[in-house]
Structure 1
Amino acid sequence: MDLAYETTYHELEEQHWWFQSRRDFIFSLVQDLNLAKDTALLEVGCSGGPLLQRLRHEGYTNLTGIDLSAPAIALARRRQVPNVQVMDGARLSFPTAAFDVVVASDVLEHIEDEQQALREWLRVLRPGGCLLVFVPAFQLLWSDHDVVNHHFRRYSAEQLRQSLTRAGLHTQRQSYWNSALFLPAAIVRLVQRLRPTSQSPPSGDLQVLPGILNGALLTLLRCENRLLRHVNLPVGISTFALARKPV
Structure 2
Amino acid sequence: MKKCVACGFNFPSQSSNCPGCGWAPERLGTFQAYAPALALAGGGFNTADFADLADLEAQHFWFRARNRLIIWALGKYCPEFRSFLEIGCGTGFVLSGIASAYPRAQLHGSEIFTAGLNFAFARQPAIDFMQMDAREIPFINEFDAIGAFDVLEHIEEDAQVLSQIHDALKLHGIMLLTVPQHAWLWSSVDERACHVRRYTAKELHSKVKAAGFDILRTTSFVTGLLPAMLVSRLRKKRCDAREANGHAELRIADWLNTLFEAVLSIDAALIRHNFNLPIGGSRLIVARKL
Cα distance per residue 1:148-174 (max 9 Å; x no partner):
111111111111101101212111211
Match status 1:208 vs 2:251: yes
Output the amino acid matched with 2:83: A
**1:172 and 2:178 aligned:** no
Shift of 1:80: 2.9
Q: Who is 2:108 aligned against?
A: 64
| Unmatched 5+ stretches in structure 1 | none
| Bigger relative CO (Cα 8 Å, ≥ 6 apart) | 1
Structure 1 pair 93–6 and aligned structure 2 pair: CA distance change class (3 A): same
- Aligned pairs (5 A) from 1:46-125: 46-58=89-101, 59-81=103-125, 82-94=127-139, 96-125=140-169
Q: Quick one: which of 198, 214, 230 aligns to 1:186?
A: 230
Of the structure 1 ranges 208-217 and 235-244, higher mean CA displacement relative to structure 2 is found in 208-217
- Whether the 8 Å CA contact 1:144–1:203 is kept in 2: the answer is no
Instruction: Report which stretch shifted further, 129-138 or 222-231.
Output: 222-231
Say if 1:41 and 1:101, in contact at 8 Å, map to a contact too: yes
Cα contact 2:84–2:105 (8 A) shared by 1: no
Structure 2 match to 1:224: 267
CA contact (8 A) 1:156 1:239 kept: no
Partner of 1:140: 184
Change (3 A) 1:141 1:60: farther
Instruction: Kindly provide the amino acid, as one letter, of the partner of residue 173 in structure 1.
Output: R
Preserved CA contact (<8 Å) 1:8 1:206: no
Q: 1:17 and 1:151 mapped to 2: Cα distance?
A: 21
Please point out which of 56, 69, 86 is paired with 1:43. Answer: 86
1:32 alignment partner in structure 2: 76
The structure carrying a bigger helix percent of its residues is: 1
1:32 to 1:174, Cα distance in 2 relative to 1, 3 A: same
Q: Aligned letter for 2:145?
A: V
Distance change >3 Å, CA 34–CA 155, structure 1 → 2: closer
Q: Paired residues, what number?
A: 242
- Contact persistence 1:5–1:148 (CA under 8 A): no
Q: Is the 8 A contact 2:221 2:280 kept in 1?
A: yes
1:43 and 1:64 in contact (8 A); partners too: yes
When residues 228 and 200 of structure 1 are mapped into structure 2, their CA distance, relative to the original with a 3 A threshold, is: same
The 1:207–1:35 alpha-carbon spacing in structure 2 relative to 1, beyond 3 Å, is closer
How far does residue 199 in structure 1 lie from its aligned partner after superposition? Answer: 8.6
CA distance in 2, matches of 1:165, 1:15: 35
Q: CA deviation at 1:6?
A: 3.2
Which segments of 5 or more consecutive residues in structure 2 lack a partner in the other structure? 1-44
* Paired residue type of 1:15: Q
**C-alpha displacement at 1:200, in angstroms?**
5.5
Q: 1:236 aligned to 2:280?
A: yes
CA contact (8 A) 2:92 2:124 kept: no
Which amino acid in the other structure matches residue 153 of structure 1?
R
Residues 108-117 or 6-15, more deviating: 6-15
Distance across 2 between alignment mates of 1:86 and 1:199: 28
Deviates more, 1:22-31 or 1:48-57: 48-57
**RMSD of the alignment, in Å?**
1.8
Cα distance between partner residues in 1 of 2:241 and 2:53: 24
Q: Secondary structure at the match of 2:89?
A: coil
CA shift in 2, pair 1:34/1:108, >3 Å:
closer
Q: CA deviation at 1:34?
A: 4.9
Alpha-carbon distance, 1:79 to partner: 1.5
**Alpha-carbon contact 2:78-2:145 (below 8 Å) kept:** no
Give the letter aligned to residue 164 of structure 2.
E
